[in-house]
Structure 1
Amino acid sequence: MGLIHIELFATLDLVGQAPGGPDEDPEGFPFGGWQAPLLDEVAEAQVGAAYEGTDALLLGRRTYDIFAAYWPHQEGGPDDGIARLFNRVPKYVASRGRPDLSWAGSAQLGPDLAGAVRGIRDRHEQVKVVGSLDLVQTLLREKLFDRLDLWVHPVVLGVGKKVFDGGAVPTNVTLLEPPAASPKGTVYLRYGLAAGTPGTGDMSAPDRGAAP
């Protein structure tokens, strides 16, 4: 069985909406492209390494449309490596509508999203979910993920769609490696899904904070 990896860029107040550009999300969000001023070589290398080994993409409709309009035209450019990877691997789209699936290797998931995601996990070793906040919230709620890579950027927006808006249930995760900060202050956190639900404790007890 393969692994479902969620790759997310978020602000300090965990807004994940439209990091990539001003036109990424046409819903009146005033900070589209907030990530661009905070990128540096370290963070870019972390993102590139996170995509290594990808053999399928799992995307929401809006992210898919953005990617389909962009990545097929980027081979030979500065993002050639990621472009070739994304263009080569299968793309699975979660949508209730009828997306244009002209990007080579694309397929729409059926109405049973949970069953479809489990099927993808059975067919592929490394499945990456990029952006796609609505889809991510469903995966979080159903615990249909294995890894969560989160880049927390040093900026507070105060508005926008958040990573965990309406899509979280009590869940344990485990830190897979020490946090890594980039020169501009972005912190890279890698978590794995862990068993059970959050425990509670008494701060005055010798074993305070321990799970029951």
Structure 2
Amino acid sequence: MSRIVVQEFVTLDGVAQAPGGSEEDLADGFEHGGWQMDYDAVHDRDDEGGPIIMDWESRTEALLLGRKTYEIWAGAWGVWDEHEPGSMGELTRTYNRVPKHVASRTLTELGWKNSHLLGDDVPTAVQKLREEPGGEIRVWGSLNLIRTLGAHDLVDQYRLAVYPIVLGTGKKLFAEGFRTSTFDVVESRVLKSGVIITVLRRRNE
């Protein structure tokens, strides 16, 4: 059986919108794009977080993405050079190789290799993916999709890098209306940068 694992960079007030770049997601006039990258540039100069992310990604057997995140990733990882040295090339090779399952009501075809549309019934399609033999199916970004997955109890684990920042605006990982949930803390540690690594598993009650 496979596992659905959500990974996100989030602020103290739960914002997970556009952590990696100023143009990543401008919805609702969001003006803090790149907040995670900017913080790390100042406070994580030793790149303590880098090996953690690479360890997480080494377990990725497939990607599960919403439309917006898919289009951002297809225009980045989908075209970057696989022979780039270091983590950039390693991640590019990984993301090109693994299957990519995409939830979308508007896309009819996908240009990034090994990409597949989930169809109209996303919860049922994801449940079938979970039932197949395999490892971790990784979710990054894709906040609307995560809300759907949460509503149908389809997330096996959340891996969060919680940044000591309050933005006061932006799309939240657990937005209003999210299914009431209780979690077991699998892991929690504080990096020298002040970022808190927290791994959560939904408690069956």
Q: Answer yes or no: same fold by TM over 0.5.
A: yes
1:168 maps to amino acid: F
1:22 and 1:32 in contact (8 A); partners too? yes
Q: Corresponding residue for 1:14?
A: 14
Residues 159, 90 of structure 1: CA spacing in aligned structure 2 closer, same or farther, 3 A cutoff? same
Larger Rg: 1
Evaluate the alpha carbon distance shift between residue 100 and residue 25 of structure 1 in structure 2; reply closer, same or farther with a 3 A threshold. Answer: farther
Residue aligning to 1:170:
180
2:151 aligned with 1:141: yes
2:15 maps to amino acid: V
Q: How far is the alpha carbon of 1:157 from its aligned partner?
A: 0.3
Partner of 1:191: 200
Q: 1:166 to 1:95 in 2, by over 3 A?
A: farther
Q: Give 5+ residue unaligned stretches, structure 1.
A: 197-212
Task: State the alpha-carbon separation in 1 of the partners of residues 90 and 2 from structure 2.
Answer: 23
In structure 1, give the amino acid aligned to 2:26. Answer: P
Partner of 1:44: 50
Residue of structure 2 in register with 1:35 after alignment: 36
Structure 1 residue 99: Cα displacement = 5.4
Deviations for 1:7-66, whole angstroms, at most 9, x for unmatched residues? 011011110111110110132210010001222311111111111221100000010001
User: Residue 106 of structure 1 is aligned with which of 115, 119, 123?
Assistant: 115
Contact 1:137 1:166 in 2 (8 A): no
Question: What one-letter code is carried by the residue in structure 2 that aligns with 1:32?
Answer: G
Q: Which residue of 2 aligns with 1:63?
A: 69
Stretch deviating more after TM superposition (166-175 or 27-36):
166-175
Which residue identity lines up with residue 162 of structure 1 in the other structure?
A: K
Give the TM-score normalised by structure 2: 0.90
Does residue 115 of the first structure (1) align with residue 121 of the second (2)?
no
Change beyond 3 A, Cα 1:141–1:167: farther
Letter in 1 for 2:105: R
C-alpha separation between the residues in 1 aligned to 2:4 and 2:160?
14
| Superposed CA RMSD | 1.3
Q: Secondary structure at the match of 1:6?
A: strand
Shift in CA distance, 99/132, structure 1 to aligned 2, threshold 3 Å: farther
AA partner of residue 19 (structure 1): P
Cα drift, residue 84 of structure 1: 0.8
One-letter amino acid of the counterpart of residue 18, structure 2: A
1:107 Cα deviation from its structure 2 partner: 0.5
Larger RCO, structures 1/2 (Cα 8 Å, 6+ apart): 2
Aligned partners of 1:34 and 1:99: how far apart in 2? 33
2:82 to 55, 75, 80: 75
Residues in 2 aligned to 1:156 and 1:9: alpha-carbon distance in whole angstroms: 13
Partner AA of 2:171 in structure 1: K
1:3 is matched with 3
TM-aligned CA deviation for residue 126 of structure 1: 1.1
The one-letter code of the counterpart of 1:36 is M
> Deviation string for 1:151-175 (max 9, x for gaps)?
1001110011111114522222111
Q: Is the Cα contact below 8 Å between 1:38 and 1:186 reproduced in 2?
A: no
Deviation, 1:76, is 2.1
Give the aligned length.
195
Question: Given residue 148 of structure 2, which amino acid in structure 1 is its aligned partner?
Answer: T
